[in-house]
Amino acid sequence: MKVVIQRVTSAKVTVGESLVSSIGRGLCVLVGISRDDTQKDIDYIVRKILNVRYFEDETGKRWSRCVKDKKFEILCVSQFTLCHKLKGNKLDFHCAMAPTESEAFYNKLLEYLKKSYEPDLIKDGKFGEYMQVDIVNDGPVTIHLESPSSQDSDSSQALDASYKPTENSDGN
């Protein structure tokens, strides 16, 4: 599973002229589901969405609070194009989970996210629809994550375990 997480001051999803969902400050999460993803991938991605420290604390110290600490909203949007391969200049999506399976899998991700956080703070787009996603990126902060099965799990776990932000880490 691949996700792109954007820290936002606001975000909304529309289909045509109809507003589907909107949030204030929080995270907009674009979700790409690979054909080999399992519950283990959901567990990993949900844990990272909820616990990575994207936000400042009350004193302004950067990278010290997660979305749960701040009680901010999360807007999830399914985006199969994250699971692309390039064949020359042509996009190939054979690694993406089939639409019929991925809708159930995406809904399972949303359920687990709601169960692990506050259900009223989790919003989403409209699966399988042509959507317009409007965000106001805060920072800008954009994080790309892949679950261990989407990459070499040994190197991802080593990187994950070894990263510790320094006291003066401000992202610049």
Residues with catalytic function: 79-81
The DSSP letter of residue 21 is: E
Two tokens, residue 1: 């599973």
User: DSSP secondary structure string, 71-122?
Assistant: T-EEEEEE-GGGG-EEETTEEE-TTBPPHHHHHHHHHHHHHHHHHHS-GGGE
Question: Residue 11 carries which side chain, given as an amino acid letter?
Answer: A
Two tokens, residue 91: 């996009």
Euclidean distance between CA atoms 19 and 40, whole angstroms: 33
Euclidean distance between CA atoms 86 and 84, whole angstroms: 7
> Which region, left, alpha or beta, applies to residue 138 given φ > 0 means left and ψ of -120 to 50 means alpha?
beta
Q: Collapse the DSSP code of 156 into the 3-class scheme (helix H, G, I; strand E, B; otherwise coil) and give the result.
A: helix
Neighbours of 35 (CB within 10 A): 14
